[in-house]
A and B are shown apart, each in its own frame.
Chain A
């Protein structure tokens, strides 16, 4: 139910007035998919993503227990947490892959959970996602994977898509000839690069990374992290990553948040991970057995 002070559906929440000059200034650096609403929101200092009291349970098991999180525009947020702590469900809730039981999720000040289905689908045009295992479509060649969104929305033709794929593959350090291969012919590191290329091909203004370095050797992990940082900066996008890899978290993130038992228990600079002063975060970041976090073992 809407309250008396709620904004109209699909409109940004009340925010400080933004000057045209400020909006134009930001328009020069924000990605092409950025809408007028997001320009206004960014100029007014509204967080790109805001979660308030988000709760979700599966078959009675509480996974998110009131998540509150803010991600400023054009920043890179890393969400840390143990297995089963609710990291994946958090980003799946923002992406619309999971419907929260309670709470508010705003993008550019717009409550996305109250948007009509069509508008919510349209919001997806501005979002990119790199899945943990790549989730590349093995029935399609690499170039079609990379330009899938552009082709599906008929934003470009197939001939143009090949050129665009070659361009994006070059951005992630792959030759254009890779475009003709099938995903199953690629190594794990190359699959991650292709998945990254697919995530950025439509020039999104929000990108999610789910365990981007899992399963890669440390050098390839650092290479992927470097590419992520470069791509996000080049696009001027807002990034949200979830990871267990502390080295990766420090490389990718400006800000970090720790989720434990479905709640955000700490937020701070990613650079302070391991010496944050928060016992939970430091235990997790340093991989210590003793500390406030106790592993739950099923007997």
Chain B
């Protein structure tokens, strides 16, 4: 009997543990968001986090976008040439970049940079008593450390993705005109004629959600880290892995919401 019940009990414990973790993360996010509407507000910390995400992540996101656009043109040209449909390359590139690749790849790049950075910084503050020190200095750590970062994540990512969209399309245009012999004006006309406002907006909404998730996972894992250097290292890894998986999972959910027929 135990042979049957033990694995079931283990599965049950796992499910309960997962539910507890999701619940705790949701409560953490709710509390942090509630602080965005109650003074005092830490504008300086928001700007610092905003700059860290939007400005200092720009080089890595820009490079990712440019190369993705370039590769996408090459791949789609090879594929479409089999059906004499190379005229659709520009359309495919712009849709793929704005709807999917811009937000998802930028999200994954920022997850690696920012989630890790937030988790390591806040985790170190946790294990060196700096978070307790904030409380004794009459400062709510959620309001001071978490809320400004969540807001910065949600607002900075759309800007970053807007830049990534432009650079991704330009990367594609560069290869299409210089290597594949497309006429520049025709390629650009096909790009802008086919692009709709909703395509861009859906990508920016995704970016905002991903930015929030990246900041949430970084701060949550750091805030709950335990032990010393090993604990902080573990929190950093968990933050990056969890935020990356959540970005991919939420990308499906959001795409289903925006575009499912």
Q: Give A contacts to B, CB under 8 Å.
A: 92, 95-97, 121-122, 124-125, 127-129, 131-133, 135-137, 139, 148-149, 152-154, 198, 208
Contact = CB atoms under 8 A, between A and B. Distances in A.
B21 interface: no
A249 B136 CA distance: 23
A133 B140 CA distance: 21
B129 A131 contact: yes
A131 B128 CA distance: 9
Nearest to B136: A129
A135 B139 contact: no
A233 B133 CA distance: 23
7 contacts: A121-B140, A129-B133, A135-B128, A148-B139, A152-B40, A152-B137, A153-B138
A258 to B, nearest CB: 24
A95 B139 CA distance: 13
A97 B137 CA distance: 12
B130 interface: yes
Contact of B137 (A133, A149, A154): A149
Nearest to A129: B136
Contacts of A96: 135
Contacts of A152: 40, 137-139, 144
A154 B136 CA distance: 16
Given A95-B132, A139-B121, A208-B136, 15 more contacts: A121-B138, A124-B135, A124-B137, A129-B133, A129-B136, A132-B129, A133-B128, A135-B129, A136-B133, A137-B133, A148-B137, A149-B137, A152-B40, A153-B40, A154-B40
Contacts of B125: 137
Contact of B138 (A97, A124, A135): A124
Interface of B: 40, 121, 125, 128-130, 132-133, 135-140, 144
Nearest to A123: B138
B138 A125 contact: yes
Given A152-B40, A154-B40, A135 B133 contact: yes
Q: Which has the most chain A C-beta neighbours within 10 Å: B133, B135, B140? A: B133
Contacts of B139: 148-149, 152
Nearest to B143: A152
A128 B136 contact: yes
A146 to B, nearest CB: 11
Contacts of A148: 137, 139
B135 A135 contact: no
Q: Which has the most chain B C-beta neighbours within 10 Å: A95, A131, A149, A152? A: A152
Given A121-B140, A152-B40, A97 B135 contact: yes
Contacts of B138: 121-122, 124-125, 149, 152-153
A131 to B, nearest CB: 5
Q: What 3 A-B pairs are tightest by C-beta distance, nearest first?
A: A135-B133, A135-B129, A129-B136
Contacts of B136: 95, 97, 124, 127-129, 208
Contacts of B137: 124, 148-149, 152, 198
A137 B139 CA distance: 13
Contacts of B144: 152
Contacts of A97: 132, 135-136
B130 A135 contact: yes
Contact of B130 (A125, A132, A137, A154): A137
A122 B140 CA distance: 11
Nearest to B144: A152
B137 to A, nearest CB: 4
Contacts of A132: 129
A36 B130 CA distance: 31
A92 to B, nearest CB: 8
Contacts of A153: 40, 138
Q: Which has the most chain B C-beta neighbours within 10 Å: A95, A135, A154, A198? A: A135
Contacts of B133: 129, 131, 135-137
Contacts of A137: 125, 130, 133
Nearest to A128: B136
B166 to A, nearest CB: 33
Contacts of A124: 135-138
A233 B188 CA distance: 77
B132 A131 contact: yes
B157 to A, nearest CB: 23
Given A121-B138, A148-B139, A135 B132 contact: yes
